[in-house]
Chains A and B, each alone.
Chain A
């Protein structure tokens, strides 16, 4: 029965496009328009990739996307040009991102389970408060947070970037999971209760296995946002050996001396690559995770 409603909504959404087919000329115009707009949107990205393959003096002298003198020199310079190999920064980024993903998945799913399935005093209030934290600008809490971590002696370590994520601080992910968990029929919980399972067993054996789409979504977003983050590492990491890839990119641009644009663009291209691959691989899951509010049975 749930299946049927799902299907019909889906069909309706898909069918809406081809109820009225425009003429051949109309379609050609539409596609031309779309191609032009797509190109405009993509141009900066394409420029970055092509410039990373050009010699330094060609980058700003031509707008052409095709390198006249193809070279991988910028990649070599970018990878080895700093006092620490760029590969090391990649590794730092990876460690932080993976830890954040793990922390978010564990803590946010537990918080979401509590908000959807456990009864406790002031549940509604705490949920609203939790959602309220999403509205709070990051900059408002930055200084108190920094001072706190300074007191802990955590500045210039990855701890401020990772440890808080194990305490369910990302309200967005909790919210996303709450929405998904709400769609899992309560009958399943009750059947498990009849089977003698307690809250923990229900969470681990019933809820989590059924929540793969939303967990994947949270994992991918969590990874991308941490990987892309420039601000937090900038605040908390001082030594170049601890830099993430994003901080590494910054070091190629120098306000006083010569900036190495070629190396910057080459490393930027490499930095985008993992995210791009991740997105392509998980695109279907992402959409499912966001779109699925109900459970398919």
Chain B
């Protein structure tokens, strides 16, 4: 069942278009992550769903009902802010009860809800404290608690982990995933961190310049990026992009020229002499290629030893740079020459406009 539908949603500030006709259908209970570089409009989109930002065009539906002009508090939505936005002068309890008091809920019910939420988040012992007496992780929980008490249909998270240190971030990420599993509400989560996106999402929305570049499950996006932008944005280290030229078109195969080497791949719908882009993730390139395609030899320029992996930076004969992530600990030194290759499954082809081919 669709809980949230965006039809041609637009946002303009004067003449500047920030969101350009976004269509999206989100199912009930899904965990959706909006991801994209800064300035791509992901936070704006979230704030429009929240009701904090007026919608310039299109229609926003929640539970089948048009809510474009409904007040934020009447949309059945709760939001966790990047800064947590806890009221500094109120106790944790008051922070959580404020919205319910505003809604004039009976005191007994408010108390029950606050205590239940506090229990879920294990912050019962903090209820009398003020926000400034809490650690970053505790503030984060209170912010989530404030959302939970309202029993919303949809939770919105605006980069909720960006103020936490690395260790706490991983821990909280797991807790948010657990929370989602426990309460089963629809969640929309904005981040620029692709690891958060990959680990949390049921489906990811990749945004750029106010438009959806791709919408799909994390693995769909990893395995079949719709275009060069998505391919480069998701995955770390970044996907290698090589400029290749189509040298021959035959029945069933296409031959590509890369740094003086010919690579024969299954037929691609293109023309001879066309300039294409070949994308291969660093972790998919190996130096013991038995099957698949052999790429041009690379000259090593720099090596990083991570223990479990060895990251090799290098250049091909024509100067194109290439990164390779090799499993385990390898003895590779700068100026070494390495023979590398990849399986065909892991090769992505993009046309001159950056769109995926095949």
Contacts and interface: CB of A to CB of B under 8 A. Distances in A.
Interface in A183-215: 185, 187-188, 190-197, 201, 205-206, 209-210
Contacts of A193: 51-52, 72-73
Given A193-B73, A194-B52, A195-B99, A210 B88 contact: yes
B79 A194 contact: yes
Interface in B50-65: 50-52
B81 A195 contact: no
Interface of B: 50-52, 71-74, 77-79, 81-83, 85-89, 98-99, 102-103, 131-132, 146, 150, 163
Contacts of B89: 209-210
Contacts of A192: 87, 98
A185 B98 contact: no
Interface of A: 1, 185, 187-188, 190-197, 201, 205-206, 209-210, 295-297
9 contacts: A190-B81, A191-B81, A194-B52, A194-B72, A195-B98, A196-B72, A196-B74, A196-B102, A197-B102
A190 B52 contact: yes
Contacts of A209: 89
A187 B103 contact: no
A1 B163 CA distance: 9
Nearest to B47: A190
A194 B87 contact: no
Contact of A196 (B79, B83, B87, B99): B99
Given A194-B50, A196-B103, A205 B85 contact: no
B184 to A, nearest CB: 21
Nearest to B79: A194
A201 B89 CA distance: 15
Contacts of A191: 79, 81, 85-87, 146
Contacts of B163: 1
A188 B146 CA distance: 13
Contacts of A205: 98
Given A190-B81, A192-B87, A197-B98, 8 more contacts: A188-B85, A191-B87, A193-B73, A195-B99, A195-B150, A201-B102, A209-B89, A297-B88
B99 A187 contact: no
Nearest to A212: B89
Contacts of A296: 88
A188 B84 CA distance: 9
Nearest to B102: A196
A187 B88 contact: no
B102 A195 contact: yes
Nearest to B100: A195
A185 B86 CA distance: 10
A190 B80 CA distance: 11
A190 B146 CA distance: 13
Nearest to A211: B89
B130 to A, nearest CB: 11
A34 B281 CA distance: 72
B102 A295 contact: no
A295 B85 CA distance: 12
Which of A190, A195, A206, A296 has the largest number of chain B CB atoms within 10 A? A195
Contact of A194 (B73, B83, B131): B73
Contacts of A197: 73, 98-99, 102
Given A194-B52, A194-B78, A195-B73, A187 B83 contact: yes
Nearest to A190: B52
B14 to A, nearest CB: 15
Contacts of B52: 190, 193-194
A35 B102 CA distance: 58
A-B pairs, 5 with minimum CB distance: A196-B73, A195-B99, A187-B85, A191-B85, A196-B102
